């Protein structure tokens, strides 16, 4: 697989919380760092994602913003 994103992190799926449309997937990339992604429930099924499986977090973004009042 070749992709344009340059930020990929391999890890282990620690939890999948499925909703009717979306699912929250948590990936442990090591050293106590967890990456959480919200993807469609259909994507979870089509990728065959299961807790304990290895997967990649693929991040393509020019910026990440955090704001508070």
- pLDDT tens-place values along the chain, 69 residues long: 788 777 889 999 999 999 999 999 999 999 999 999 999 999 999 999 999 999 999 988 777 777 888
- Residue 27, classified by CB atoms within 10 Å of its CB into exposed (0-12), middle (13-18) or buried (19+), is buried
The per-residue pLDDT for 44 is 97
- The pLDDT score that the predictor gives to residue 14 is 98
Q: What does pTM read for this prediction? A: 0.84
User: Is the CB of residue 56 less than 8 Å from the CB of residue 1?
Assistant: no
Overall number of domains in the chain: 1
Q: 44: domain range?
A: 7-59
Q: Is 29 domain-assigned? A: yes
- Whole-number pLDDT of residue 26: 97
Name the DSSP letter for residue 41: H
CATH number, residue 38 = 2.40.50.100
């Amino acid at each position: 697989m070749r992709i344009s994103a340059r930020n990929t992190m391999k890890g282990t799926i620690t939890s999948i919380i499925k909703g009717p449309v979306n699912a929250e997937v948590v990936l442990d990339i090591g050293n106590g760092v967890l990456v959480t992604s919200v993807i469609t429930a259909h994507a979870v099924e089509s990728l065959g994602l299961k807790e304990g499986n290895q997967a990649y977090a693929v991040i393509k973004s020019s910026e990440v913003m955090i704001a508070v009042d």
